[in-house]
Amino acid sequence: MTESEHPEETTGSGHVAVVVPLFPRLPGLRQSLASLGTQTRPPDLVILLDDGKTPDVEKLRAEIPHLASEILQTGMETVPSAINAAVSYLANFEFITFLQAGDQYTPERIEHCLAALRTPLETKQAAMVISGIEATDSRGNLLTAEDSRVQHLARLWAPASSGVTAAEWLGIGNIAATASNVFTRREALAEEPLPEIAGYFPYLSTVSAAVQGTLAILPHHLLRHNPVAQDHQASLRTTPELLRAQMHLLAALRDKLATSPETRHNLAAFHRASWNNLSGLREDLFQQAVLRAASAARPEDIHDAVSGILRSHAAQSLPAHQSAMMEGADPLDFAAYIAALARTREQLDAAETENRRLHAIANAAQGSGWVRFGAWLGERSARRMMEMEADDETSPTSNDAGSP
């Protein structure tokens, strides 16, 4: 890595650096940089992360003339490894955020994200924050509600009103969507460097924070993002990457899973929700990978793992619904469900019996002479009645006969 001078020590605690990867090359970079100049709380430094192949990279600094900026050139070939280098370089900064070409910050983004990271969560300090997203086209114009990409984002954010936890929500889908949505404390990335395999690092990082209880989610639309259209083949290509990321996360959380009931609970909730994931995460393949890894483990390792779980508080108590049922309650209302099912079955049986009875009557009527005779009488009577009504309409009335 070729570095310019390290950031001044005066940047200190509380300062924000925006890392802008210049590779892979994507359209809309100048619009993205321009959005940094509109911030109500400007960044303290903008790092243009270059792989040494960006032409006229110095001219990009002219897009943000009023902001401090540096070009950080790295020989790293992948974005995750280059970001790890940038995190190390920005050792004097407390907060790091990212901005990819084609994405744009709304004017209040940095201000609101900083406020969220400085507001304690229920049990601990937030380490990372993501926000709501507005979908745009390649020119930065908002997409209409009919666009499939907008509808997909709406599906991802729909659980917001249902009270799900952050871990469950990310199990449902990748609500972060882009690296530009990651606003984090630098130490969080320094403690968990991104692996080379994790090209899909925004999802990996946000899931890691969620299961550890340090992710804050802002519902406000603080980011404009140009999402790619849903592509079946592209989803298949990301499957190996996402699967490796899940396995890496499991290994990275090894120590905390052994000591933190909260982390174990949140990770289990994430995986339960992931069975219906909307973003290409394959929980079925992850379970197969875990089973293969477990089958290759030594018997003593399996014994230790099971023993450790059995010592946990969760293993010492029955699930709430099972405990309630043993006490005579029925929290899931199985009895009412069974009674309703029985009533439905009785009604169906009665309807089938009546249908069979009517069908038998109809079959018998087709071969009955009395029924045919009755039909003939009915038809003859009806014809006679219509003839009598016609005679009445054409005959003189009694008043006409008595008139002078």
Asked whether the CA dihedral 236, 240, 246, 249 is positive or negative, the reply is: negative
pLDDT at 367: 67
pLDDT at 114: 95
Q: What is the pLDDT of residues 218-235, one digit of tens each?
A: 999 999 998 876 555 456
Helices (H), ranges, 214-298: 232-252, 254-259, 261-273, 283-295
Rounded to 5 degrees, what are φ and ψ at 65? -65, -25
Q: What's the CA gap between 280 and 289, in Å, rounded?
A: 16
pLDDT at 386: 62
Q: Which of 66, 65, 57, 75 is nearest to 20 (CA)?
A: 57
**Residue 246 near residue 202, CB atoms below 8 Å:** no
pLDDT at 3: 43
> Residues near 115 by Cβ (< 8 Å), separated by ≥ 6?
none
pLDDT at 217: 95
Helices (H), ranges, 274-327: 283-295, 299-310, 320-326
Q: What's the CA gap between 117 and 127, in Å, rounded?
A: 7
Q: What's the CA gap between 157 and 179, in Å, rounded?
A: 17
Give the pair of three-digit tokens for residue 145. 């509600």
pLDDT at 268: 93
Give the pair of three-digit tokens for residue 374. 């009755």
Residue 97 pairs in a beta bridge with: 18, 183
pLDDT at 130: 97
Identity at 102, one-letter amino acid code:
G
Q: What's the CA gap between 382 and 392, in Å, rounded?
A: 16
Mean pLDDT by 10 residues, the chain (404 residues): 44 81 87 95 96 83 93 83 92 96 96 92 88 91 93 91 90 93 94 75 91 94 85 64 88 90 92 91 92 88 80 69 64 58 73 81 71 69 64 48 35
> Residues near 400 by Cβ (< 8 Å), separated by ≥ 6?
none
pTM, to two decimals: 0.73
Q: What's the CA gap between 176 and 215, in Å, rounded?
A: 11
What per-residue string of b and e applies to 56-88 under the rule 16 or more CB within 10 Å gives b?
A: eeeebbebbeebbbbbbbbebebbbbbbbbbbe
> Residues near 36 by Cβ (< 8 Å), separated by ≥ 6?
18, 42, 43, 46, 64, 67, 99, 105
Give the pair of three-digit tokens for residue 56. 């006229």
